Amino acid sequence: MSESNSGAACMPDQNGAVPVEPVKKDENSRRGNWGNQIEFVLTSVGYAVGLGNVWRFPYLCYRNGGGAFMFPYFIMLVFCGIPLFFLELSFGQFTSLGCLGVWKVSPMFKGVGYGMMVVSTYIGIYYNVVICIAFYYFFMSMTNLLPWTYCNNPWNTPDCTGVMGTPRTNATFANVSAVVSGLTEIVNRTKRTSPSEEYWRNYVLNVSDGIGNFGEVRLPILGCLAVSWIVVFLCLIRGVKSSGKVVYFTATFPYVVLTILFIRGITLEGAISGIKYYLTPQWEKILDAKVWGDAASQIFYSLGCAWGGLITMASYNKFHNNCFRDSIIISVTNCGTSVYAGFVIFSILGFMANHLGVDVSEVADHGPGLAFVAYPEALTLLPISPLWSLLFFFMLILLGLGTQFCLLETLVTAVVDEIGTDWIMKNKTYVTLGVAIVGFLLGVPLTTQAGIYWLLLMDNYAASFSLVVVSCIMCICIMYVYGHKNYFKDVEMMLGFPPPLFFRICWRYVSPFIITFILIFTVIQYKPITYNDYVYPRWSLVIGFAMALSSVICIPIYALFKIAMSEGSTFLERLKNSVKPDPDWGPALQEHRKGRYATAGPESVEVCPLKEELKDEGKEKLKEKEMEKKDEMGLTIPGSNGSTLNPTPSA
């Protein structure tokens, strides 16, 4: 488009309005941006802060030396967590593309993006099942008496012993006083099961005898799964425009609930002993490699690295957004939340241990066991227990939804960016609906009686060492294939300043070393998965490893495909061509393509100037014309049509 035509297209109409002025709201009008930067930060906090902050970190902390675990934890945060977080945010923001499109940086490595999609798919499927169970407990808490308080229900067994006493009597005890005197003995027996555990196993899940025995679909759980997916879809119906508004509530209210539970928890008898157990450092464990491995793994998985979500969320930022600042804020908030949640959890567990007369270690648990067994049992001891139960499970729902929003948006954005047509951009809602329906259908087997076995299998294998491999290859590609100097210049062009020296060193050396350490540690410490006393059969472990490899195998398969399709007469020539950046690599908008990107890339969408800009431009042109007239007054001859003609000198 010529300059004159461009100006005409952007001229105000008769009403003085610029026709396309309303679309100026987004910097990238075709793809869209966050409404403001707070929405991005809150969404990223909701993504990073998830269920693992509540049910995994406190358990790891007390298992690995209490307060001593904090030292390696924060060391890993500084040298691995924040640098990787910043790397992924800057990667997505620079190109304004999702986890597939960003690999224009080196097309041969696009399999890394597909691996991220596979991982996000697995996590999204089972994560929403956990959310739906939290929905179920939330609904069942709307009662005067929590259903897992006593042992007098049809689903309870003779081994059940409630901390509130039990209406069930048997031949062993003749009267209530005998029940009270023998309570501690029963609690300490290895076969003792609590009402909350039996409610979880025998009623909510009705667990089958093995992973191969699916049994029937648990209809209440299936209904809650549908509710969960409907909520996620409605919150993402307009992409980041709608989810960005929802996170004002979903990302902040869990902190309100945590604070309420914390205040209630520390006022309970025995709470201090629980917190002491949580924080008391066992410095001798600081030299144990397992402690450092757990710290590194928790930082890595908690921040959501290599899931593709960080790249996707950052891709909706404006080009010059300070993602360096955001990465520090979000990472520190995530880890601070983990520590804070530990105080909340162990104040309640300390109270429970005091009530039972046992050590805190005997009531502490992790994973679903903490969320749906230990903590619900503790809630029955509190006055107005249904209220606290509602608050706790509502918090779990919000924590899960914050992560689920980003997982689904990652998949949708990858599909939309890959197709890239105007129709798919305008009808992104249909893609979101399709992904939600597929996710729901794939989650149905997890609502059967064998669902818990499959859920834990996916959690332990589908999103374990494969994430480490994907993240390691991403670092190698950006720093050593594309080139660290090139990437540092890209970041400087985007932010206005180069990455700090500390981050440059971490990206090139320290973080890859820590990632390798995590991978080696994961392999060395590998133990076959179990669920309570159930040992998984070998064929199920093969399926688990297949799920883990399904994301990693994408990388070499796509690399070989890209090499085969690249130009060149020899293998080396094709290899070199396959790792060269795509001509479209770089900032998405032409206005940001400067320096070495100035002549590269597709034509940008024209952005018309605002009315004020047009007025200023017009005034400047009038001044220039007046100066020209004064300079050329004696050398110009006015024409009949008002134009000026320069006389040609005679020969």
Please give the annotated binding residues, written as ranges: 46, 48-49, 53, 302, 334, 399
Give the closest residue to 220 by CA, choosing from 150, 132, 127.
132
Q: Compute CA distances 347 → 54, 355, 625, whole Å.
A: 13, 13, 78
> Helix, strand, or coil here: 638?
strand
Residue that is written with structure tokens 């679909």 in the block: 217
AA letter at 156: N
Q: Rounded to the nearest 5°, which phi and psi values hold at 640?
A: -65, -25
CB 440 within 8 A of CB 229: yes
Give the closest residue to 494 by CA, choosing from 311, 317, 309.
317
Q: Compute CA distances 603 → 20, 242, 310, 591, 606, whole Å.
A: 18, 29, 27, 10, 9
For the chain, how are helix, strand and coil distributed in percent, rounded to 5?
Answer: 70, 0, 30
DSSP classification of residue 581: P
Pairwise CA distance, residues 188 & 375, whole Å: 18
Q: Rounded to the nearest 5°, which phi and psi values hold at 569?
A: -95, -20
AA letter at 24: K
CB 217 within 8 A of CB 372: no
Contacts of 15 (CB under 8 A, 6+ apart): none
In this structure, which long-range contacts are made by residues 177-185, counting pairs with CB atoms below 8 Å and at least 24 apart in sequence? 184/356, 184/357, 184/358
Pairwise CA distance, residues 297 & 464, whole Å: 9
Burial of 281 (C-beta count, 10 Å sphere; 0-12/13-18/19+): middle
Orientation angle between helical segments 240-250 and 253-266, nearest 10 degrees: 10
Would you list which residues are annotated within the binding site for Na(+)? 46, 48-49, 53, 302, 334, 399
* Partners of 638 in beta bridges: 644
For 48, the enclosing helix (H) or strand (E) is helix 37-48
Positive or negative, the Cα torsion across 625, 627, 629, 631?
negative
